[in-house]
Amino acid sequence: MSRFKRGAHVDSRAGFRQEKEDCPVPYGLLKAARKSGQLNLSGRGLTEVPQSVWRLNTDTPQEAQQNLSFGAADRWWEQTDLTKLLLSSNKLQSLSEDVKLLPCLLVLDLHDNQLISLPDSIGDLEQLQKLILSKNKLTELPSGLWRLTNLRYLVLTSNKLSTFEHLANLKNLVKLNLFCNKLKSLPPAISEMKNLRMLDCSRNQLESIPPVLAQMESLEQLYLRHNKLHFLPKLPCCKTLKELHCGNNQIEILEADHLKHLSALSLLELRDNKVKSLPEEITLLQGLERLDLTNNDIGSLPCGLGTLPKLKSLSLEGNPLRGIRRDVLTKGTGELLKYLRSRQPDGGSKEEPKTAMTLPSQAKINVHAIKTLKTLDYSEKQEASIPDEVFDAVDDSPVANVNFSKNQLMAVPSRNNLLTSLPMELEGLTKLRSVILSFNRFKSFPEVLYRISYLETILISNNQVGGIDPVQMKTLNNLSTLDLSNNDIMQVPPELGNCTSLRALMLDGNPFRNPRAAILSKGTDAVLEYLRSRIPT
């Protein structure tokens, strides 16, 4: 009997086995990556990247040791350089210098980790085009980053950066996202990014914008929300800027110098500031389609605002507006702009005054028909709107039938009546843009409205509407204002969130539980985003 006892944990065959790297990445995944050029290791709880990943294209694969025949079905020698590496949602605190062993990478995604720093060798990835580093703990960037001259997309959202000095050489950068960091200023060298089209510096600590930002001629979208700005930036050379987001700052004054160079602007967002007035120079923004002034200190509006030819959405909730009736404000953007145009000093008519019985089209109202047949007939006039004189002619006479057919109406005011339905013949009003049906007795959303494709405004508040069809609603591609407040809607369909053309959605005063009042109070964009998040997947 041997005097040496064999331990129970000893494997007698261990000496005949080839040692293997303890790798949390299945070899089959690495094998597939050699063929496809893509490797997804997201959400695997990695605390470090295995060496086998960095050496994917340098080490000889295992199958080469097992089969040296070039006639084999598994053509192991035909490898593809790794071009896409996804390492998001892991527990990485650092990255190895060996990242340079993957020089053909085009995409490197490291978002949602615990990275404190990056290796300088990341600058050796000279072909890299997209680098995603959001949701980490980076306080600074390596100097080697400036060598990534082919980089087009750099996402640094939700880190702890207080500066970024090594980015000026990134002349091919198209998108730079610095959302939610600790930036107090932007370096002057940022102007060297001549191809930058989107810059997001929201949720930082910026108090001013350097004048050199005005030299970024390719800039199309600029996000500066949730900072400490007191003025809009002056951007004289940003001729292609289409969107300027400056909400949640401390802006009090809009000056002509801030607006006169923004002729291409289609969206100006200034919600939650301290703006007290709009200058007449707002009319210089001839391409403006959306203007968000929610929650400011604006007391009046310049009448010239009504002349902006492309303005489709004007958000003014939460302002102490005086001089404009509440019912005008609730009718939507189109009616408000029309009202402002009518208030212009030169907007009045110079024609001979007309009696209530003589209309602009030289047509007469049949008062006898109103009195005896209770019928108001204003058909075949080819008018774009019904003149106020028509309604004045009715006076207090009870009217049961209205004929507005064969016109070119763009708006139908029908509020404060007893309507319960609309005729399908309304479908023929192909130029109709606005429908006002508030304070009636509708129990369902009028089916015909889904068929009028050019509708921009539907006001159907204070009825008994029980629901809407989100699928049909989405077909109304031009719809920007939908007021369903004070109805009987028990459930808001999540698919309504897909109606992305909506700029003003009013749902308060309904018995549904979700979205809650806290979400409704955040505005239309927040409501639509919430609804989309509830869509079953």
**pLDDT band at residue 200 under the 50/70/90 scheme:** very high
CATH topology of domain 409-533: 3.80.10
At 401 the three-state DSSP class reads strand
SS3 449: helix
| Residues 80 and 102 sit within 8 Å (Cβ to Cβ) | no
Residue that the structure tokens 């006898």 belong to: 368
Placement of tokens 């200058």 in the chain: 279
Contact between residue 459 and residue 331 where contact means Cβ atoms under 8 Å apart: yes
Phi, psi of 52 (to 5 degrees): -65, -25
Start-to-end C-alpha separation, the chain:
68
Q: Return the minimum-mean-pLDDT range out of 30-39, 101-110, 344-353.
A: 344-353
Where along the chain do its domains lie? Answer: 409-533
Q: How far apart are CA 221 and CA 218, in angstroms?
A: 9
Residue 20 pLDDT level (bands cut at 50, 70, 90): very low
Are 327 and 304 in contact by the 8 Å Cβ rule? The answer is: no
- For the chain, percent of residues with pLDDT exceeding 90: 46
Residue 42 DSSP SS3 = coil
d(CA 357, CA 392): 9
pLDDT at 235: 86
Higher model confidence: residue 63 or residue 501? 501
Indicate if the pLDDT at residue 133 is higher than 90.
Answer: yes
CA 112, CA 128: separation in Å to the nearest integer?
20
Q: What is the pLDDT of residue 45?
A: 94
Give the Cβ contact number of residue 6 at 10 Å: 8
Residue 175 phi, psi dihedral angles, 5° rounding:
-130, 125
Concatenated DSSP letters for 115-184? -----GGGGG-TT--EEE--SS--SS--GGGGG-TT--EEE--SS--S--TT-TT-TT--EEE--SS--S
Average pLDDT estimate for 134-139: 96
Min mean pLDDT across 15-24, 355-364, 397-406, 483-492 is at: 355-364
Band (pLDDT 50/70/90 cuts) for residue 374 is low
pLDDT at 502 over 50: yes
pTM: 0.63
Reduce the DSSP state of residue 83 to 3 states and report it: coil
More reliable by pLDDT, 400 or 391: 391
Q: Would you call the peptide bond into 515 cis, given omega within 30 degrees of 0 as the criterion?
A: yes
How many other CB atoms are there within 10 angstroms of residue 197's CB atom? Answer: 19
CB contact at 8 A, 458 and 335:
no
**Structure confidence at residue 223 as a pLDDT band (50, 70, 90):** very high
Token code pair at residue 438:
């508030």
Q: Read off the pLDDT band of 13 (50, 70, 90).
A: very low
| Three-class DSSP category at 90 | coil
How does pLDDT run across 163-188, given as a tens digit for each residue? 887 677 799 999 999 999 999 998 88
pLDDT digits (tens, 9 = 90+) for 463-494: 999 999 999 999 998 898 999 999 999 999 99
Amino acid symbol at 244:
L
Query: Which of the four pLDDT bands, split at 50, 70 and 90, describes residue 134?
Result: very high
Residue 8 has pLDDT above 80, yes or no: no
- Category of 234 on φ-ψ map: left (φ > 0), alpha (ψ -120 to 50) or beta: beta
Rounded (5°) CA angle 192-198-199? 70
